Every structure is written in C-alpha cells, then in structure tokens.
Amino acid sequence: MTAESLPTQPFSHTGKLGNVSGLAFKNALLNIVTFTLYRFWARTSIRRRLWSRAWIMGEPLEYTGTGWELFRGFLIALPTFFIPAIFVFYIAPFAMSPIAAGWLTFGFYIVAVPMIAAARFWMRRYQLSRTRWRGIRMGLEGSAWSFAAASWGWTILQTLSLGWFTPSARMKRAQLLWSNARFGDQPFNFVDDGKPAAEPLWWPFALGWVGNFAAWFIAFFGMGLMFAALGFNGMLGADAESGQPTQNAVITMAVGFVTAGLLALTLMAVFWAPYNAAAMNRIASLIELDGARFKLRATTFGLLGVTLAGWGILIFSLGLLAPIAGMLQVRYVINRLVLIGTPRFAEIGQSIVAEPKSGESIADAFDLDMGVGII
C-alpha cells in the first residue's frame, strides 16, 4: 500500500480560550499571593486541562503529574542551579574583583549551555512519563547528560559556523529525543527517508539568517528617519537654559527606541516563520510508531499568527498569562497533526521505562515550555 492509500488518524484539540483563560487568571493571582510558589500546582492544573482536550482516535490524553513532583524537582534545582546563579549574578559583582566576577560569569554561561540541554531532556522525560493514552504510559530512555554533551558539541558547531549548522543541529537533537521516546513498550523511530534530514530547511533558514540583519536595519533606519523628521520640526530640541534635551524629547526618543526594537523582533518572527514551520513539518514526517508515520501541516502564516499572538499575551500580561500563549501553540500543532497508518495498539504493552520520581528540575529555572508543556 502507498502512503496515500493508508488510513489517516487526525489529532484534534478541542480546547478553547475560555477553557484556559479563567484557570490562567486564577493561577496568576495565586502565584502573586504565594510569591510564585504556587506555580508548580498551576502548571499541573493547566497541563491536565490541556491534555484532557487533546484527542487521538476518539480517546483523550491523560496527564498524571502532580504539583508535589514538580516542587521536589525544584528542591533539587535549588542548590544545583538557583543558589549558584544568585551568587554569580547578584553577589559576586560586589564581593569579588571585576575581573574575577567576569570570569565567573563567563564560566557560568559555559556550564549553562549543557545544563539547558539536560533540562530540556528532563522536562521531556517527565512529561512523557506522566502522559497516558488508553491507559498506556509514554516514556523516554537515555541519559540527559549524554544528550547535553551532544547538544553542547552541536552548539559549538553552530557558533563556529555563524549559525549555519543550526538546521542540522535541530534535526540531530530531534532524532536523539524521538529515537529514545516510547509509547508503552513500543519505540518511536526517527526514520531515514533517503535524503539528509536537514535538506529541506536550508533555504528557509537562509531567509531567516539574512532576515536577522534586514529586520534590525529596517527598524533602526526607520527610527532614524523618524527622529530626523521630528528634529526638523523642533520636537527634539534642547532646553534653552541648560542645553539638555527636554523631557518631551527624552520620552519621544525612548518610545522610538522601544518601538524600533519591537518592530525588529516582529520582522525577525516574519523572516523566521518559514524555517520554523518547515522544521516542525520535517521532524514530524520522520517520526514513526510501529510502521505508522506522522504528518504535520504547519504553515508559515498560521505559525506566525500564533507566535505573534503569544508574544502579545506575554508582553501585556507581564508573563503572568504565559499558559494562554502556550495553549495557542499546543492547540495549533495538535489540530494540524495526522497519523498515517494505524499502529497495532492491541499488541503494545505497558511501558517498562522507569518513571522519574520528581519533576523537571532545572527546567523550571528556564521556563522552557511557558508553564504548559510539550506534547
């Protein structure tokens, strides 16, 4: 049978903004009252709400994680990351010489790169281990530190290549994660379709890479023209007595710089949207479960709209309503995901991968998933 003739099983997410917004507001209020300590239970409640509205073949996903597990993960991260970070950024600059504090900060960033990769692995392992479908638990095998070491090497190659190794690095990270993922006792496979995994990504990546420079040039060139026009009209003049810029001039210039920065970031999102959509579609197309393949139909403008909407929510809520932004991304992806073929679910047994006893550890420090989760 050809891929076109195989049965397709669409995924669907029935969540609405109303399903999450009320819970997100309540969680934000409790986070403020408890000085963010409630965030572990807030994440759990949001994930349970979103998971229960993700449907596959008429059956919803189930999230079984608890706030106490996430809190235990935080207690592990407290001495291993949070306290060292507080010392490096807030104490060392005053307690040490500038040179010593600078080297300490540089060393911390060197260590933070593999730690972020390990955090991503722990986060994925925990979330998969707490995800069930038809009572079958998912899981993730492998070592977080092995993933971190490989990711650190790819990060070095990205830096040395001025970013041009990024498509290959993204595909290699996806391959390492998905080839270790399990649904019950059935492994996911990251298949070889006969051509380099990153091949379809180079032209979209080139657009984003060049677009980085174009975005900042356009934004600040436009800001310069605006300042020049305002200057000719006398709106950026100096005070006659002190010779200093007037208060209105200072405010106007500050607003101009902020506007230029926001415009640059928006243009960067526009230039990078084709690459991100292509990468997501490519990764999904190479994932296999018991002979069934996945297909994602993310589009440039659809993904761009979700991204910009999420940014707007984050900015105007000062990050307090991040779960709503995360929900938009989760819903967008799931509603465009299709399973081509049908795995032999009746023959899949329960997972034998050990469950982690605590939550996501230092992933909480980086907030890699906006408090929502990655399915």
Flag whether pLDDT at 375 surpasses 70. Answer: no
pLDDT tier, 356 (very low <50, low <70, confident <90, very high otherwise):
confident
When mean pLDDT is compared across 36-50, 107-121, 125-139, 268-282, the lowest value belongs to 107-121
Report CA-CA distances (Å) from 280 to 97, 134, 171, 284, 287.
46, 26, 10, 6, 11
pLDDT tier, 374 (very low <50, low <70, confident <90, very high otherwise):
very low
Residue 199: how many other CB atoms lie within 10 Å: 13
pTM across the whole model: 0.88
| Residue that the structure tokens 């949207």 belong to | 273
As a whole number, mean pLDDT of residues 26-55 equals 92
- pLDDT attached to residue 108: 86
Distance of CA 137 to the CA centre of its chain: 23
How is residue 242 annotated by DSSP? T
Q: Evaluate whether 306 touches 273 at the Cβ level (below 8 Å).
A: no
Q: How far apart (Å, rounded) are the C-alpha atoms in residues 330 and 121?
A: 19
As a whole number, mean pLDDT of residues 205-217 equals 95
pLDDT in tens, 228-253: 777 666 666 665 555 566 667 777 77
pLDDT in tens, 326-335: 899 999 999 9
Domain ranges of the chain: 3-197+286-366
pLDDT in tens, 103-148: 998 888 888 888 888 888 988 899 999 999 999 999 999 999 999 9
Q: How far apart (Å, rounded) are the C-alpha atoms in residues 70 and 36?
A: 13
Q: How far apart (Å, rounded) are the C-alpha atoms in residues 197 and 207?
A: 19
Q: How far apart (Å, rounded) are the C-alpha atoms in residues 178 and 186?
A: 12
Flag whether pLDDT at 264 surpasses 90. Answer: yes
**What is the residue-wise DSSP string for 313-366?**
HHHHTTTTTHHHHHHHHHHHHHTTEEEES---GGG-----SPPPSS--TTHHHH
